Amino acid sequence: MIGNRHEAFARHVEPYTEFADVSGIVPGARVQVAGMDAGEVLAMEIPNSPSAKFRVKVRVNEKFRELVRADSVVTVGTERVVGNRFLEICAGSLRAAAVATGATLKGIEPTDLSAILELETYNCQRRQRREQCQQFGDRC
């Protein structure tokens, strides 16, 4: 198909990023730069040890190259509340060089909503227990 969304004949830059958890990120997932569709996830390399991270190769359209700098960071986004996951590259600073193919951009791990809710539940239970202890004295 000529002119599909992957822009088969456009010029690209292909940097990497790394994450410990790539849940929901698959080859073909969207890549955005500053909120605009700019490319796609090409491949993911499986780590060779539990302490290593997944290495994710992305393709970014050349027209975004001046925004994607060596100090840009990559985060995992979600469409709406329970939608597809995508990578968001934040524009870098003018002090840093434009990213080169093969360079690795810093990945910021996604926040696990279930872990936040679990922590808040635990904190709430601790507060309730502390209030009970105060109500009944030190006998609890």
Predicted local confidence at residue 78, as pLDDT: 84
Contact predicate 104/72, CB 8 Å: no
The domains of the chain are located at: 12-109, 111-140
Beta strand 73-78 pairing with 104-107: parallel
Q: Which of 75, 74, 65, 72 is nearest to 91 (CA)?
A: 72
Could you tell me if 36 and 126 are in contact, meaning their C-beta atoms sit under 8 angstroms apart? no
Q: How far lies 18's CA from each of 98, 116, 121, in Å?
A: 19, 23, 31
- The predicted-structure confidence for 115-126, as pLDDT tens digits, reads as follows 556 666 666 766
pLDDT tens readout for residues 66-87: 999 999 999 988 887 667 889 9
